[in-house]
Amino acid sequence: MPLLRPQLPTGPHYGILAEFATPADLFHACERVRDAGFTRWDAHTPFPVHGLEKAMGLRRSLLPWIVLVAGLTGAAGGFALQWWVHASAYPLVISGKPYFAWPAMIPITFELGVLFAAFGAVLGMFGLNRLPMHYHPLFKSKVFERVTDDAFFISIESWDPRFDSSATGKLLESLGARSVELLES
């Protein structure tokens, strides 16, 4: 499945990594990178920064639709299974109720709807993020180790149409980056 295969730039360079000192610096830099028209880039922070998705110009995720479809599939499947078992395959009279006693099927329908929606959410998130990914060029960077601690990063990938290894680096420096480095693939 192409969705589950890691998508990384081909060629000698992965891209450029820039480190910023504060979330505010990162936030404003993201706005400028967005306005410069870059499309294949990302921001990395140790904690969620409110409004960053707007500053990055991210589109809304596809995930809610995956969850909806998965949840409805689970609910429909759960209901259909019970209907098939109780009313068709192996009809039994249970406490004087009709074979097709739909109220009795609601709890399991509900549970399977929730279960499948949760599967959809977790697996959908993994798929959209292309996880699990066992190798990523970013981790070659020494400064990037602090991304889970106290540093804020922007990475711009080399296959972005606007990428230029020297001009893009200068742009990030002009946006207040503390350090800029070119990463190998």
> Considering beta carbons, is residue 99 or 159 the nearer one to other proteins?
99
Interacting residues of 114 by C-beta distance below 8 A, sequence separation 6+: 71, 74
Alpha-carbon span 156 to 17, nearest angstrom: 7
Q: Which of 27, 41, 152, 163 binds other proteins (CB under 8 A)?
A: 27
- Contact between 68 and other proteins (CB under 8 A)? yes
User: 145: helix, coil or strand?
Assistant: helix
- Contact between 104 and other proteins (CB under 8 A)? yes
Residue 72 Cβ, how far from other proteins at the closest point, in Å? 10
Alpha-carbon span 99 to 2, nearest angstrom: 45
* DSSP conformation class of 135: -
Q: Where are the alpha helices (DSSP H) in the chain?
A: 23-35, 52-56, 63-83, 102-128, 167-174
Residue 106 Cβ, how far from other proteins at the closest point, in Å? 7
Residue 23 Cβ, how far from other proteins at the closest point, in Å? 8
- Contact between 128 and other proteins (CB under 8 A)? no
Alpha-carbon span 101 to 159, nearest angstrom: 58
Size of the site for other proteins (CB under 8 A): 17
Residue 101 Cβ, how far from other proteins at the closest point, in Å? 9
Give the binding site for other proteins (CB under 8 A). Answer: 23-24, 27, 48-51, 60, 64, 68, 95-97, 103-104, 106-107
